[in-house]
């Protein structure tokens, strides 16, 4: 059984399907799980700001009967006041799980190495696994089956792209990653996703040519500048504007839906009109963060009652 959730890269397609089905069950029949985390406490260590992740974990844990202690200022410099190793050892004395949003994936690996309780990645520089599960849950709801559907991720190749690639590969979702030159996804993670995709038949394609995009089911984008990237918007805006998700791109690509993990920047990576349109899955994605994360916590540390 899986002990932590850092990346999903060691998950099998069957396990991923099972987790997606559990997330759907949690969403449809929450009362089946209301005591699953009874008497359990988790700690959230957040080095970066959050709206969706923080609130959905906190409220989600309450709905499962558990309790969350949130640390922000203390966590801003995880290894500053004491070693990450010592934080992991101390937190394991009281907490049943650690949820961490960190700058560097290596911080999560260090927490994992020394904590005796499950560690859950709430976003790092390389991955955002909870987001990806919530996103494919949204797709599963609108399409009934995600296998064989095509997602086009457009914009900056980043943590969200990487987790969408990994989870999508495990679920058999075809993916086209469209980025400006110099902003490609991490090649090692793309290659890892391609390996995972061999068992499901998912096709993964990368391109810089936005005009070639056609026959896709959903368009997905994220901020052009991730948290911690201090590049001025003015330096990259011209390069990224052709990659904006807008009405014309929706028509050209044939996509039925648009997706964004949020926070969104209206009329930059996606038009405000599309966010507010019937094609938008943004609020479904946000809503599903809680159900997806609750499914993850039920698998990692839950006791069904
Ligand atoms: N999508 C997401 O993780 O949002 P927050 O940064 O607000 O948590
Ligand atoms: N790529 C974005 C995702 C925010 C949820 C970031 O890391 O800031």
Going from the first residue of the chain to its last (305 residues), give the mean pLDDT of each consecutive group of 10, the final group possibly shorter.
86 97 98 96 94 98 97 68 91 97 95 97 98 98 97 98 98 98 98 98 98 98 96 98 98 98 98 98 98 98 69
| Ligand 1 atom closest to residue 101's alpha carbon, by position in its atom list | 8
Q: What contacts 194, CB < 8 A, 6 or more positions away?
A: 169, 204
Question: What pLDDT score does 81 carry?
Answer: 80
The ligand placed nearest to the CA atom of residue 121 is 1
Q: What is the ipTM of this complex?
A: 0.99
Measure 174 CA to ligand 2 centroid, in angstroms: 22
**DSSP secondary structure of 97-129:** EEEEE-S-HHHHHHHHHH-SS-EEES--SS--H
Smallest-distance ligand from the CA of 282: 1
Question: Residues near ligand 2 with C-beta < 6 Å?
Answer: 123, 158-160, 222-223, 226-227, 261
H helical segments located in the chain: 13-28, 52-63, 78-81, 84-94, 105-114, 129-143, 159-171, 187-197, 233-240, 247-253, 272-275, 282-301
Distance 157 CA to ligand 2 centre (A): 11
Residue nearest to atom 6 of ligand 1 (CA): 50
122 in Cβ contact with 100 (< 8 Å): yes
Q: Which residues line ligand 1 (CB under 6 A)?
A: 50-53, 123, 131, 261-263
The catalytic residue among 261, 285, 291, 293 is 261
Counting from 1 in the atom list of ligand 2, the atom nearest the Cα of 125 is: 7
* Residue 289 is a catalytic residue: yes
Residue 93 CB coordination number (10 Å): 8
pLDDT at 77: 63
- Looking at the DSSP assignment, which residues form a beta bridge with residue 150? 174
Write down the pLDDT at residue 73. Answer: 65
- What is the pLDDT at residue 305? 46
Taking the CA of residue 123 as reference, the ligand 2 atom at the shortest distance is 7
- Nearest Cα neighbor of 256 from 273, 275, 279, 235 is 279
- The answer to whether the Cα torsion of 249, 181, 230, 160 is positive or negative is positive
Q: Does the predicted TM-score (pTM) go above 0.90? A: yes
Calpha distance 118→125 (Å, rounded): 20
Whether 251 sits among the annotated catalytic residues: the reply is no
Q: Is 222 a catalytic residue?
A: yes
Residue 261 appears among annotated catalytic residues: yes
- Helix, strand, or coil here: 96? coil
Which of 4, 222, 285, 291 is the catalytic position? 222
Q: Which residue CA neighbors atom 2 of ligand 2 most closely?
A: 226
């Amino acid at each position: 059984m899986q002990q932590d959730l850092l990346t999903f890269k060691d998950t099998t397609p069957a396990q991923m399907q099972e987790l997606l089905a559990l997330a759907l069950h949690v969403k449809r029949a929450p009362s089946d799980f209301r005591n699953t985390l009874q008497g359990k406490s988790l700690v959230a260590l957040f080095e970066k700001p959050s709206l969706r992740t923080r609130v959905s974990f906190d409220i989600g844990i309450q709905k499962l009967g558990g309790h969350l202690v949130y640390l922000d200022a203390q966590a801003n410099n995880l290894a500053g006041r004491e070693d990450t190793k010592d934080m992991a050892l101390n937190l394991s004395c009281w907490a049943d799980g650690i949820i961490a949003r960190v700058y560097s994936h290596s911080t999560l690996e260090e927490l994992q190495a020394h904590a005796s309780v499950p560690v859950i990645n709430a976003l790092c520089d390389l991955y955002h696994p909870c987001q990806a599960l919530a996103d494919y849950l949204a797709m599963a709801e609108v399409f009934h089956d995600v296998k064989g559907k095509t997602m086009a991720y457009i914009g900056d190749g980043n943590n969200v792209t990487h987790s969408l690639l990994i989870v999508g590969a495990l679920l058999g979702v075809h993916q086209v990653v469209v980025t400006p030159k110099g902003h490609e996804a991490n090649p090692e993670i793309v290659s890892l996703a391609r390996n995972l995709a061999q068992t499901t038949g998912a096709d993964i394609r990368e391109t810089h040519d936005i005009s070639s995009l056609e026959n896709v089911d959903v368009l997905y984008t994220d901020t052009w500048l991730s948290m911690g990237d201090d590049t001025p918007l003015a330096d990259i805006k011209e390069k990224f504007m052709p990659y904006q998700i807008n009405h014309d791109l929706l028509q050209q690509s044939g996509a039925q839906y648009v997706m964004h993990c949020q926070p969104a920047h209206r009329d930059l990576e996606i038009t405000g009109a599309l966010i507010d349109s019937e094609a938008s899955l943004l609020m479904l994605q946000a809503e599903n963060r809680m159900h997806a994360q609750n499914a993850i916590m039920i698998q990692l540390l839950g006791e069904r009652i």
